[in-house]
Chain A
């Protein structure tokens, strides 16, 4: 989930903070301090997150495009200049553009807005923007809600009292609601100082950037893993089932399926599954700050040399072309597979299916999947030539069952012509002739289209008179028999008008039921 840091660089950010003591800070310094802490945390624990930095005042500027290079971000942050007044609407539009250009509109993003809560005055102020939200044309719409799924975190370099004194707090709350309610406003507790800014960003880190650690299990084989990006809670039906579902930290493999059988299933999200080494204190190796890198590498080297289940699983999944089904929670499943990137490097990847008992129709109910060895007969065949998947639905779809649709005249004409074409080739085409005739008959009965039955009967009778002398004598018998039966169907005679009744070929002396060559 990429992050956009939206940094207020308006003049009001340079307001000094009154501290008893030695140094004098600007609010901007506090903001930079907080963000530095965030970047440091990400550089060590959330390395794979793409982050970009946008600065804004009355204009906005993309300072650093999406990157994993936190040094670049830090450098840009340190060199931020001060500009004029705050104009949030334009900046939010900027964020929207930056994200969509890079990731499209399906990728969820986090936006971290850092501001002092002085949201401008007059035109261009947030207050003004929010007041006019409803009176806008299509071309000048307010940028929220963002077109992509997003969480908006607002870091205020101000305390709650300060914001509540003006309408700043209300406006910011409105902003989050406009975006769908996902996100939070953080304010500083107590005096504005380095300590309180640290505690505020600490809360953000806990909330949004804590790594997701889990145990991947396959029977008794296990591996400690980090799942990145961390899986977000999912709500299935906000009415019947409004509780968000969370991925549990115990990822249990339930079995294996061929890639061809699972065949490109739709997924909610994709995550890297990275094995991690857990040392005695229960800390992840690599969480330490930069100064103990030496120790780090040595432990990493150790970890690299001891066998890890993830690596084994990845290797075998890749070689065999299979996926592992993994249970993420009650009635929630996902799959593990090997994913190769363009550079031929490959990784263990996990995709989450929709929560529910039957996320993929072609696999059926997940709880009904059991070990193939339990089946009376090997469902994959002795030589791996068969597969129990996909599961066939109970009813065939319309396009798989030769339905009759006469909404367009051409549909009806085609069906009539098909019958006449076969009528001219009697008795060779007796089977097809009656098959098509019965199809037409059924549809006409269902649609209450008796007129068609009569017309068809007449057409067949005329065909009979037009038969050439060379025609097989059986043809004439079959044609008049069929015409007769159609007429009966359009009368109220229950026996012949029954939907399930089929017109069968007349038994004649010539062929014993027609030369049934198809």
Chain B
């Protein structure tokens, strides 16, 4: 009951004219960003963050705008997957498997409508889950002490991207590099400068926003230059405006299953939307692929991953808001924005700034409806805007990134730092090192160290305090299990590759 009255309060925040306008702008531009091949939610939100500072909105309105962009990009990602066979980002990869074959068979409109409705149900499911579970988790997190927070951060770093199938060592290195960068600047407790190389620009440390825009936007430009000047794929035309409603109805159970699986994947720290869509697709394939139609244009193969990734992206907001530990790249970027706006996510956020939390939740309900309406009749418009060639799109992305970063600090040094992070991001991506752990390390490093030092201070130098509470012990056991699982999976993959090499 309390939740409902808080939610009603949230709707009163979300329904102010400014916030409604931001919501609609965010949904529209998000869908557009998601639909452009090569741009996904992470780059989109990273580029837009500095701009929201330039607009000077308060934290609630900025968060509403960026979440609308985030959800919009998750919806839009399916458009280029289905029509071009080019996923805008990782979570949309699974949608290409059945979406593109459907479009080739002349059922593009059906594929888009099914995935649109699946996205809607998936993310509404997740927002309902967010309404119910985030306050519960936040209430639990009140009992966390410094040592428990330290354990939670360890868990987050070990798990993030851990079961994505890449080498877990690379993920850990990425997180450690991020944490190392976070220690640059004046030490918050003793006040001595660390790793500043006598450069006063670095005394404040590396601004996470500068690093983020470089890592995600600039590295994307460098990555796309590898394939530039080659022929681009032509999108498949949309056959009709009216989707087949029976085809949508036929996928109802698939969508519900996908939503549930995706939501659970999203809530897990570090898993995020990619895992949500992969798990939803493979589970659906096991449940209903009796005739071997998956991968050849089965509508259920479009519905499941779309429901899954949208549910996961909503679910990923739960750990971000209630614990301050994001579960995916995009929520990590949003955390950076909140920190820069002096809002510290975590259990206290729900008590101190309920209007922000519930205003956001209410506007997510609204965003889903806006996106469903935007995405069904206006799909033709988006598919035409998708034709903007890369050579015209990316220079604008570069210019906007520069202006955005320049607007935060007015510093030329930060612009150079951003380009440097772009190169770093490009190299790491080429080496199969995920950038999300690095960003997470950069964002949470300060807090992680502060909690460690506070815990050791309280115990007066006794390291045993780190495992003294049942919460931290539970978290370390979870960490150990997860680490064991990811090492086992990596070794199994390694063996498989070896065996295949022997057979060839």
B is bound to A = no
Where the two chains meet, the residues of A that have a C-beta atom closer than 8 Å to any C-beta of B are none
Where the two chains meet, the residues of B that have a C-beta atom closer than 8 Å to any C-beta of A are none
